[in-house]
A and B are shown apart, each in its own frame.
Chain A
Amino acid sequence: MKPLLERLNAQLDLYRSRSGSPWPHVPGSRFPDSARDLEIADLLTLAWHLRTAPQLHVNPHFAHHMEGRLLSYDAEVRQRQKAHTRRMRLLKRWLIFIYKSSRRA
């Protein structure tokens, strides 16, 4: 007989493969035959509660607002990086000029 952790994992995998559809039970109802063990059934109920807890679900309004903010921040970061690269290139050119001038002198 498989140890408890293997059986729990097998059940979680089974439910994961049905993603998109709800898990095959609601709290308080009977579990499928494959989850006979009461301990496993309790842990699965707890996992189900965690998975479906409304507190963990993203608010679509927040997701949309954040996406816009993220994209404009990305544009800003790119602009900053471009300006930094330009400055570094100028600095490099200036240092080369100084070096060459000092050698000529």
Chain B
Amino acid sequence: MEAIEHLLEQARQGEAKALSTLYHRFLPGIFGYIAIRVPDRATAEDLTSEVFLQMIEGIHHLKATDEAGFAAWLLRIARVVVAGYYRKHARQPVMVPLPGESWEEMQKASLVVSSQPASDDPASWMETREEWQKVVEAINTLTEEQRQVLVGRLILGYDVATVARMIGKRVNAVKALQFRALKSLQRLLGKQDESIHPQQERREKTP
């Protein structure tokens, strides 16, 4: 894998290949960070585009020279873009997905297989569109640092030391953040699971 310092330098000099490499290396992380915070794929793709277009505008003035610094910079742009999206849509909470972009279609291409019924496991909340909405809501209640740790560790696949440099924290703090992030998600998704069940039980009892 090419060194990020070299790629950044080349991208600043206008090398299209370096820019493409940077884009492909960071696209999964940025898309993942955004997709986990907005309810549909079309919006996630729009906002991801916005982040990378801003990357083009700002890369010439960027001071970061290492992978963690560059990832942190992109995630900062992504955070602002997502915040802007929620500000803009504050009065329009209902979002309609584009046809052909439904989760069901993605599911066909997915390798995710669950052997457990949805009600048994908080993680199974990710398996339908409505359930994914619950995951997005739960993720949005985490702190920004917790979200960045999850993206860094689970999507970008960084080690704890890199994530620590990325968010400007100590290694032990990152370990605590990832533990707390997953515990909070587990609790939040579990709580939503429980809050649905009494309604279902009531419905079942109604003649």
Contacts and interface: CB of A to CB of B under 8 A. Distances in A.
Interface string A36-56: 000000110111111111111
Nearest to B176: A5
B14 A58 contact: no
A59 interface: yes
A86 B88 CA distance: 37
Contact of A74 (B16, B106, B178): B16
B185 A46 contact: yes
B84 interface: no
B167 interface: no
Interface residues of B, number: 56
B52 A27 contact: no
Contacts, number: 132
B35 A55 contact: yes
Nearest to B17: A71
B27 interface: yes
B16 A55 contact: no
A63 B41 CA distance: 13
Contact of A71 (B19, B28, B112, B176): B19
A28 B116 contact: yes
B20 A12 contact: no
B60 to A, nearest CB: 8
Nearest to A61: B45
Nearest to A27: B114
B174 to A, nearest CB: 8
B2 interface: no
B176 A43 contact: no
B155 interface: yes
B116 A66 contact: no
B202 interface: no
A66 B159 CA distance: 28
A66 B41 contact: no
B56 interface: yes
A21 to B, nearest CB: 12
Interface string B129-143: 000100100000000
Contacts of A59: 41, 45
A66 B49 contact: yes
Interface in A67-81: 67, 69-71, 73-74, 77-78, 81
Q: 9 smallest A-B Cβ distances: which pairs?
A: A28-B115, A5-B179, A54-B110, A49-B123, A54-B106, A56-B32, A43-B182, A51-B154, A28-B116
